[in-house]
Amino acid sequence: MSDLPVLVTGGAGFIGSHLVDALLARGYSVRVLDNLSSGKPGNLPLGDPRLELVEGDVADVGLVRGVMVGCGAVVHLAAVASVQASVIDPVGTHRSNFIGTLNVCEAMREHGIRRVLFASSAAVYGNNGEGEAIDEDTPKTPLTPYAADKLASEHYLDFYRRQHGLEPAIFRFFNIYGPRQDPSSPYSGVISIFTERAAKRLPITLFGDGEQTRDFVYIADLIEVLLQALEAPQVLPGAVNVGLNRSLSLNRLLEEISALFGGLPEVRREAARPGDIRHSRADNRRLMERYRLAEPTSMAAGLACLLGRA
């Protein structure tokens, strides 16, 4: 472990703020760069003197250069995290999701910082491999600006690895869930939306027949992997899926939520979202080869933690 601060871009968001907590608990000091577009200062323990929050944009190259001075490693999470938002605003999304990555790479090269973790997405596969466990060699067909920017970012990180000695650990997250995932946007993670609405007894909207499946990963399991990647003596090239090779249908998810709340509010059925993937499940052999994940959190346990009942 290095004494130098870790820079976490997007550190005030859902995943970022959990990582910040874990880094502080392990004794790191942390600098967060976040434009607070979806992240919140309230997600962060701002009273901790080892934590510094810099409010600003990863698309601002001068700022990224400045904020990196003295850092030992970078975790690059800042992005417009909603696929639908990228469809509505491809240009704005590209600034955050691609130019931001390029700025991070350039600033790292200038400062001689090598280790960087990057949050890519299962979205890079498009519909390929649907219905099977998707491995990392599955053809990539990014279907949205969000997915195209993530895949382009992966390629640039790999260029900086080959050309400038960066050590990028690239992760393709499947569906991450947990506390602090913002339920307020209709495009936020389905678990945060369903649990909040169940708690408030508000109607739940189910798009499609509910038999679509996802590979849900509890936030603590992801953080465990990210910490190992940060501290690993070396990083092998090639992106790594972060999924558990587990399928859960939305109908089964609703049953789990119902059990926790003693019933469900009204469930309104609407047509499937255009472009919605039917089945998404990770082949996670590479994850298991490279990282230790003793006993992944079960959905029942994850939901209990999310609701503060664990």
Per-residue interface string for the shown chain with ligand UD2, residues 232-251, x marking contact by CB under 6 A? ------------------x-
CA distance linking residue 122 with residue 161, whole number of Å: 22
| Residue 145 within binding range of ligand UD2, rule CB under 6 A | no
156 is catalytic: no
CA distance linking residue 44 with residue 162, whole number of Å: 35
Stretch that binds ligand UD2, among 134-142, 158-166, 224-232, 273-281 (CB under 6 A): 273-281
Which listed option, ligand NAD, ligand UD2, none, makes contact with residue 16 (CB within 5 to 8 Å by class)? ligand NAD
| Residue 43 within binding range of ligand UD2, rule CB under 6 A | no
The torsion angles phi and psi of 58, rounded to 5 degrees, stand at: -70, -15
DSSP state of 98: I
Q: Which is nearer to ligand NAD, 30 or 80 (CB)?
A: 80
List 51, 78, 104, 122, residue binding ligand UD2 (CB under 6 A): 122
Active-site hit among 28, 146, 156, 218: 146
CA distance linking residue 31 with residue 53, whole number of Å: 6
- Cα 169 to its chain centre, rounded Å, is 13
| Residue 264 within binding range of ligand UD2, rule CB under 6 A | no
Stretch that binds ligand UD2, among 43-51, 183-191, 256-264, 293-301 (CB under 6 A): 183-191
Element (H, E) at 60: none
Q: Which residues neighbour 259 within 8 Å (Cβ) at sequence distance 6 or greater? A: none
Number of residues that bind ligand UD2 (CB under 6 A): 20
Could you tell me the smallest distance in angstroms from the CB atom of residue 48 to ligand UD2? Answer: 28
Element (H, E) at 8: strand 6-9
CA distance linking residue 238 with residue 184, whole number of Å: 34
Among residues 18, 92, 23, the alpha carbon closest in space to that of 57 is found at 92
> Which of 122-134 are b and which e, b meaning 16 or more Cβ less than 10 Å from the residue's Cβ?
bbbbbeebeeebb
| Residue 206 within binding range of ligand UD2, rule CB under 6 A | yes
Q: Which is nearer to ligand NAD, 5 or 16 (CB)?
A: 16
Catalytic residue ranges: 146
Interface residues with ligand UD2 (CB under 6 A)? 81, 83, 121-123, 175, 188-190, 193, 205-207, 212, 214, 250, 273, 276-277, 280
